[in-house]
Structure 1
Amino acid sequence: MESLDAVLAAHRAYLLGWNIGEAGGSDLVTYRSDVPHPPLNGVLRVTGRRPQDALTEARRRLDGVPRVWWVGPDSDADAADGLVSLGGVEVARLPIMTAAIADTADAATPAGLHIAETTDLDTFVPAYARVSGIPAEGVAAAIDREKAFAGDGTVIRLAGRLDDGRIVGTAVAWLTDGLLTLYFVGTQPEERRRGIGAAMTRAALDLAAGRGVHTAALTSTPIGEPVYRRLGFRTAGTFRLLTF
């Protein structure tokens, strides 16, 4: 099993792949996509910085975009409380989940669902945008950023389509340093409770295993956590997400 440090480094590397702004040094790592969706702009790590100084600098770098601050185990232990004392607002606590791929459970693919890699970002991005909350006016920017993605790793985008060609499930597999990290795992609302999310996750796990990857990681939302636990993922840490 990969260390939590490796999982956090992979998470930083993926979101920095969206960055078109100032990333900064290791003491204050930021990324800016200019997509009007908070998780695609924000702070990834803060160490050894006074909370007020870090907050002032982060606001300068991320001025004009919705953003979040990911306070995880790789940030100073008092970072979240310090930011809250300065007006930051905690909006969620999200589990960082990991699994040994060989120990994960099977998941059946629902009848009529066909999962395959896609490079058609003009249809793939609107599908995950609808599920993840990216507003319609931000989809074009998200497509542009996906096309220009420059992370130090490999991105594989999986689309789950029905027989009529509609994309009803999505997953982004991020492969870096022998680790799979999952993003944008989602199911269109009208197709939920059919096992599509589990099938998309299973497909990504199988793809990674076929490339010699042994460990998977993700950050779960409340709606997805029961699915991932059934597959064998367990909590390894927590992100406190703040707006600022």
Structure 2
Amino acid sequence: MDSIDVLLAAHRAYLLGWNIGEAGDLDLVTYRSDVPHPPLNGVLRLVGRDPADALTEARRRLDGVARVWWVGPDSDAGTVDALASLGAAPVITMPIMAVPIDEASAAPAPAQVQIAEAADVDEFVTAYARVSGIPPTGVPAAIARERSFAGDGTLIRLAGRLNDGRIVGTAVAWLSHGVLTLYYVGTHPEYRRQGIGTAMTRAALDLAHERGIRTASLSSTVAGESVYGRLGFRTVGTYRLLSF
């Protein structure tokens, strides 16, 4: 399985694909989409730079937008404590999970759901906004950023549809740095607990495997850790997210 450094680099590449602001240098990597959704604006890495100076600079670059600071294994040790001492507040802990695709469990889609690539960006973003926390007022900006996405990799949007064409499940497959990273895996609330999200994940794994990708990764909530664990994903690291 690929090293965690590769997984983290692929994650940075995806979020930088949303960036319309300053990305900065390797010591302080930031991205700004102007979508009013904290995970789509923030800091990705802090290495070898004074935390107080970095915090001041990050606040300047990201002024006026909802944002988060991702602290993972690619940031300096002690970053969380340093930022907390400067006023940053913990938001959530997210396990970084990965699986060799060849070892992942099967997960067929429910009979009433067909999974395929989504061609209509507006429809797809509107569908994933509903389960990801993007407010309705932020959907137009999210659509604009999706349309102008320019990350270092290949982005594939998967939609799970009912027979009448309605999207009830989504997943974004991000192929970069030789790995698959998953985003926006979700199911509309009224269709949850039917295996749709698991099937969306498995469909993305199959698609990536067909393209020669051998490792899949994602950042889960703690609650979702057991769900992905049943597919074969294992925790290989942790992100601590802070608001600032």
Give the TM-score normalised by structure 2: 0.99
- Using the alignment, how far apart are the partners of 1:165 and 1:174 within structure 2? 24
> Equivalent residue for 1:23?
23
User: Residue by residue, what CA displacement relative to the aligned partner does 1:159-209 show, whole Å, maximum 9, x if unpaired?
Assistant: 000011110000000001220000000000010000000000000000000
**Is 1:75 matched up with 2:87?**
no
> Equivalent residue for 1:181?
181
> Equivalent residue for 1:201?
201
**Is 1:121 matched up with 2:121?**
yes
User: Residue by residue, what CA displacement relative to the aligned partner does 1:195-234 show, whole Å, maximum 9, x if unpaired?
Assistant: 0000000000000000010000000023422221000000
**Is 1:147 matched up with 2:124?**
no
The ranges of structure 1 where at least 4 consecutive aligned residues each deviate by more than 6 angstroms after the TM superposition are none
- Using the alignment, how far apart are the partners of 1:225 and 1:55 within structure 2? 30
- Using the alignment, how far apart are the partners of 2:8 and 2:146 within structure 1? 21
- Using the alignment, how far apart are the partners of 1:23 and 1:176 within structure 2? 18
- Using the alignment, how far apart are the partners of 2:221 and 2:186 within structure 1? 11
Offset of 1:138 from its aligned partner?
0.2
SS of 2:181 mapped into structure 1 = strand
Question: Which amino acid is the alignment partner of residue 230 of structure 2?
Answer: R
Q: Does the 8 Å CA contact 2:159/2:170 hold for their aligned counterparts?
A: yes
> Equivalent residue for 2:4?
4
> Equivalent residue for 1:41?
41
Trace 1:210-229 onto structure 2 (pairs within 5 A). 210-229=210-229
User: Residue by residue, what CA displacement relative to the aligned partner does 1:74-130 show, whole Å, maximum 9, x if unpaired?
Assistant: 000011110000110001110000000000000121111000001211110011001
- Using the alignment, how far apart are the partners of 2:180 and 2:227 within structure 1? 17
Question: Which amino acid is the alignment partner of residue 95 of structure 2?
Answer: P
Offset of 1:71 from its aligned partner?
0.2
> Equivalent residue for 2:167?
167
CA RMSD of aligned residues (A): 0.6
In structure 1, runs of 5+ residues without a counterpart are none
User: Residue by residue, what CA displacement relative to the aligned partner does 1:33-63 show, whole Å, maximum 9, x if unpaired?
Assistant: 0000000000000011111100000000000
Identity of matched residues, %: 72
> Equivalent residue for 2:91?
91
Trace 1:44-63 onto structure 2 (pairs within 5 A). 44-63=44-63
Question: Which amino acid is the alignment partner of residue 6 of structure 1?
Answer: V
